[in-house]
Chains A and B, each alone.
Chain A
Amino acid sequence: MKVMNCPLNGPRNVSEFVWGGEVKPLVDPSTFSDLDWGAYCFLENNTAGVVREWWCHVPTSYWFIAERNTVTDDIIRTYPASEIFDKRVDYAANKTGDKK
């Protein structure tokens, strides 16, 4: 049994968690083109090595961040998302509504 340390619930069986993919920088929807959106949604670094990822503890619906080595299958560190996302981000309103 592989154990993951949930920042909210402590060590739990990894089968209680869902993998959410790599953490990507947030994008500004008002300045993004369709092409940029496609790339943001689908293109992946797919790194072999240490990556920063979203994970969710399903029974408590708690999303957090894990640093994991994708070659050795070691979980290095888990922590609340607030460690990275620590301030409010305001996007400019898209006045024209046009797609770039």
Chain B
Amino acid sequence: MWPAFVPSGLFKYGLTKKYPAKRHFPAPKDLKQTYDVVIIGGGGHGLACAYYLARYHGITNVCVIEKGYLAGGNTARNTAIIRSNYLTPEGVAFYDQSVKLYQELSQEFDYNILYSERGHFTLAHTDAAMRTSRWRAEVNKQLGVNSELIYPEDIAKLCPSLNLSDKVRYPILGALYHPPGSIARHDAVAWGYARGAAEAGVEIHQQTAVTGIIVENGRVKGVQTTRGTVYANKVMQATAGSSSLIAKMAGFQLPIRTIPLQACVSVPVKPFLDQIIVSGSLHVYVSQSSRGELVMGGSTDPYSLYSTRSTLDFKEGLLGHMLELLPMLGELKILRQWAGMADMTPDFSPVMGKTPVENYYIDSGWGTWGFKATPVCGMTMAHTIATGEPHDLIKPFNLERFVTFAQVGEKGAASVGH
């Protein structure tokens, strides 16, 4: 039966030649035998690196190799939060550059990434959390990042949905308020980079797995793939979750454990939560997407696993605490659940830059903080590959820091599970 109203205008629009649909990316080609740069991993980071190499360094003979489909790994599984209220000066400078790049990204791409500035609240329920919040606020201010410690009366004004009662197990004592905290559409970020890179000549090969890395005399020569051998002057891996497995092919170990991070979304509801709410003590973070779904996540799983399965334990822990913050959600249903495999490092900072293999570069250790760093990673890794020297912003995140005991401790700011 026809509906009462047939949208014939829409139907006509679909048939018209006046607004032809444009392919996002060119059709796949055969793999060439040699490239200047091969990037292993077609997620946000790998694509961003290809984009900045092609657009800002004039290196266009680049191939991005992806085992699955474009941006289908952790780029598709994060909760899309962007912020720079970190704890160490190295971390703050790095993530702040990323926020600045994100703010201009829709313009840069001519493609809407739905960047939405929401304000980010890290709730404190203990004296220790208040102290860390104050510490982070002071470090942030010193480096020109907008963060401040606020108290329940201000939280009530800025975020009226939150339950600020003291009749709960963990009353809210204050919050680190970071007004530039934002969310964006994660797929659009990856697609924007992919489109921009492809237009500049970068080849993107999906459904192509790397099976080996060719190293001769300590220098990388190319990669073996399920579609044949590809030679390259320089190779970068950006394969969060599987970083250790790829690095092992190149012959070195990483300070990384692969641990699942689970998340879920609710059915869509009318907009009521404008802010991004995070609680380290309660292991909760939540924001409302532009579609109305509540996007929720918590701490990483308690042990390592190469799997994206979901567990009931996680949901019980997360939602029990969330109902304390937002009790009106008691009847809300979960729509989807998923998990990503996170590269957890001992100091909660990434591992970026050069490796023991010459001309082989790494972008890994992205634990639970990778999406927000996508633009700055692409920019700094492209600089590193093009010049052969690590970009100043990523020097502190070098791989050697673990054996030279120069870690960049971000546990207090990078993760909710501490």
Q: Identify which of B69-77, B164-172, B400-408 touches chain A.
A: B400-408
B200 contacts partner chain A, Cβ-Cβ < 8 Å: no
Complex Cα gap A39–B302 (Å): 23
Q: Is the CB of A21 within 8 A of B253?
A: no
Of B304-312, B321-329, B370-378, the one contacting chain A is B304-312
A73 within 8 A of B: yes
Asked whether any CB of chain A lies closer than 8 Å to the CB of B5, the reply is: no
**Which residue of chain A has its CB nearest to the CB of B245?**
A48
The contact of B402 among A19, A21, A43, A45, by CB within 8 Å, is: A43
Beta-carbon contact of B307 and A73 below 8 Å = yes
24 contacts between A and B (CB under 8 A): A14-B302, A19-B303, A19-B304, A34-B403, A35-B403, A38-B402, A38-B404, A39-B253, A39-B402, A41-B402, A42-B402, A43-B254, A43-B402, A44-B253, A44-B255, A45-B244, A45-B253, A46-B244, A46-B256, A46-B304, A48-B306, A70-B304, A70-B305, A71-B305
Using CB atoms, name the residue of chain B closest to A47.
Answer: B244
- Chain B residue numbers with a CB within 8 Å of A92 are none
Interface status of B258 (Cβ within 8 A of chain A): yes
- Identify the 10 closest CB pairs spanning chains A and B, nearest first: A38-B403, A46-B244, A19-B303, A42-B402, A42-B255, A43-B253, A48-B306, A71-B306, A35-B403, A70-B306
Contact between chains at A46 and B258 (CB < 8 Å): yes
**B313 adjacent to chain A (CB < 8 Å):** yes
User: Closest CB of chain A to B404's CB: distance in Å?
Assistant: 7
Q: How far is the CA of A73 from the CA of B304 in the complex (A)?
A: 9
The complex places the Cα of A43 from the Cα of B365 at a distance, in Å, of 12
B346: interface (CB < 8 Å): yes
Closest Cβ–Cβ distance, residue B352 to chain A (whole Å): 16
A2-30: CB near B (< 8 Å → 1, else 0) gives 10000000000011001101000000000
B83 within 8 A of A: no
Number of B interface residues at 8 Å Cβ cutoff, please give it.
Answer: 23
Residue among A41, A46, A48 having the largest count of chain B Cβ atoms under 10 Å: A46
- B residues near A70, Cβ cutoff 8 Å: 258, 304-306
Which residues of A are found within 8 Å of B45, using beta-carbon distances?
none
CB neighbours of B305 from chain A (8 A):
70-71, 73
Q: Does B257 contact A (CB under 8 A)?
A: yes
The docked-state distance in angstroms from the alpha carbon of A35 to that of B404 is 7
Indicate if the CB atoms of A39 and B403 lie closer than 8 Å: yes
A64 → chain B, closest Cβ, in Å? 14
In this assembly, does A60 line the interface, its C-beta being within 8 Å of a C-beta of chain B? Answer: no
Tally A residues with Cβ within 8 Å of B: 22
Residues of chain A contacted by B254 (CB below 8 angstroms): 43-44, 46
Is A73 in contact with B309, judged by CB distance below 8 angstroms?
Answer: yes
Task: For B402, give the chain A residue with the smallest CB separation.
Answer: A42
- Do A15 and B257 touch across chains, with their CB atoms under 8 A apart? no
Q: Which A residues between 43 and 61 are near B, CB-CB below 8 angstroms?
A: 43-46, 48
Docked Cα-Cα span, A41 to B401, in Å, equals: 12
Asked if A84 is at the interface (CB within 8 A of a chain B CB), the reply is no
Query: Which residues of A have CB within 8 Å of B242?
Result: 48
Residues of B within 8 A of A72 (CB): 307
Tell whether, in the assembled complex, residue B255 and residue A43 are in contact, meaning their CB atoms are under 8 Å apart.
yes
B257, A1: Cβ atoms under 8 Å? no
A38, B405: Cβ atoms closer than 8 Å: yes
What residues of A have a CB within 8 angstroms of the CB of B405 in the complex? Answer: 34, 38
Q: Complex Cα distance A51/B303, Å? A: 12
Given contacts A18-B302, A34-B405, A38-B403, 17 further A-B contacts (CB under 8 A): A2-B313, A19-B303, A19-B304, A38-B405, A42-B346, A43-B253, A44-B244, A44-B253, A46-B244, A48-B242, A48-B258, A48-B306, A70-B258, A71-B305, A73-B305, A73-B307, A73-B309
Instruction: Tell me, rounded to whole Å, the shortest Cβ–Cβ distance linking A40 to chain B.
Output: 10
Kindly name the residue among B303, B307, B346 whose own CB sees the greatest number of chain A CB atoms within 10 A.
Answer: B303
B414 to chain A, nearest CB (A): 17
Contact assessment for A15 and B403 in the assembled complex, using a CB-CB cutoff below 8 Å: no
Q: Mark A61-79, 1 if CB is under 8 A from B, else 0.
A: 0000000001111000000
Residue of B nearest to A66 (CB): B303
- Nearest-neighbour CB distance to chain B for A33, whole angstroms, equals 10
What is the CA–CA distance of A56 and B313 in the complex, to the nearest angstrom? 19
Nearest residue, chain B, Cβ from A36: B403
